[in-house]
Amino acid sequence: MIFIDLSVFIDKIKFKIFKLENNERHYLSEDEIIIPVSFSIGEKLNYIRKYIKTLIEFYHIELAYMNIDEKTNIDVIDIVKIEGVMQELLSNYGVRICI
């Protein structure tokens, strides 16, 4: 089973993709998506959507965990929009979101 762990910040999204076998994690990829500052919120959401979609399709991700940076006191609305787009994308691809 392929799992993605997402950590969402206002300026980037860190992710780790791993395979669970016999209750052991075998890491396949670990990286971050830098969200361009010059993009409008619509462009940022589209950029994130395309990037995450590519990861889901390439790795055949089945489970996801999202961690939202709670320390962000500014741009809370943008964080909520990013979280919403990611949850919608994951559910559209049948990826179960773990809480």
Quick: pLDDT tens for 9-46: 888 999 999 998 898 999 999 999 999 999 999 999 99
pTM score:
0.88
Residue 56: its pLDDT value, please?
97
Residue 54: its pLDDT value, please?
97
Treating both helix axes as pointing N-terminal to C-terminal, what angle do 76-92 and 41-59 enclose, rounded to 10 degrees? 30
Q: What is the pLDDT of residues 47-98, one digit of tens each?
A: 999 999 999 999 999 999 999 877 656 578 888 899 999 999 999 999 999 9
Q: What is the pLDDT of residues 64-75, one digit of tens each?
A: 999 987 765 657
Q: Between the CA of residue 68 and those of 3, 10, 12, 25, 51, what are the distances in Å?
A: 17, 9, 11, 22, 18
Alpha-carbon gap, residue 43 to 65, rounded angstroms? 24
Angle at 43 between CA 11 and CA 94, to 5 degrees: 85
Give, rounded to a whole angstrom, the gap between the first and last alpha carbons of the chain. 17
